[in-house]
Amino acid sequence: MIDVFLERRLPRPLGSKVVRALTLEGQPCFDLHRIQWQESLLARDGQRLVCHFQAPDVESARIGLRQAGADVSSLWGGTVHAAPGLKDSELTEGNVLVERHFAAPVTFEAIQALENAGAACLSNHRVRFLRTHFSLDRQRMHCLYQAPDAESVRLAQHQAGMPVSSIWAFQRIVPADTTAQP
């Protein structure tokens, strides 16, 4: 199984209940293609969404998600890298996502070295790194943080000299979560 990510910009805001309902509606297609929904990260304004799945391969995910009615134009395979010592329960503290896009492929180690060099900037703004999603083509990355707000992350990233495409606050929606906000 590999990790697969679906990015969406939504024409109108959605709430977490709608995201959950749409995902559960697609379950028969997911089952058929052995796709497992891991989580969705919904922007606070309801207009951006990143869904994380595990599937046998990207093509299985593409077929199953398309059959479930999803726009798969921004679907990509990747790897997940958690902060050292991170417990699964600590992922619930994540609330800000940083998107990074690269014109040419980069190595995870090169970006991690930049992140490590800027650790003091993160600490100064009370920003804690939790996890990274890194694309197989090495040209896209999502970094999840726990922070007071998106602006704190923006300042820390700028001061650390990190490449940033966009930064947004999110709420995490997981399959077993019954407490997600509307």
Q: What are phi and psi of 86, to 5 degrees?
A: -70, 130
pLDDT tens figures, 145-159 = 999 999 999 999 999
Model pLDDT, residue 116: 86
Stretch 84-112: mean pLDDT, rounded?
92
Q: pLDDT band at residue 115, thresholds of 50, 70 and 90?
A: confident
- Mean per-residue pLDDT over the chain, rounded: 92
Instruction: Name the more confident of 169 and 91.
Output: 169
**Residue 178 burial by CB count (10 A; 0-12/13-18/19+): exposed, middle or buried?**
exposed
Q: pLDDT band at residue 29, thresholds of 50, 70 and 90?
A: very high
Is the pLDDT confidence value at 179 over 70?
no
Q: pLDDT band at residue 37, thresholds of 50, 70 and 90?
A: very high
Model pLDDT, residue 180: 45
Model confidence pTM above 0.75: yes
Q: What are phi and psi of 33, to 5 degrees?
A: -105, 10
Number of H helices, E strands in the chain: 6, 8
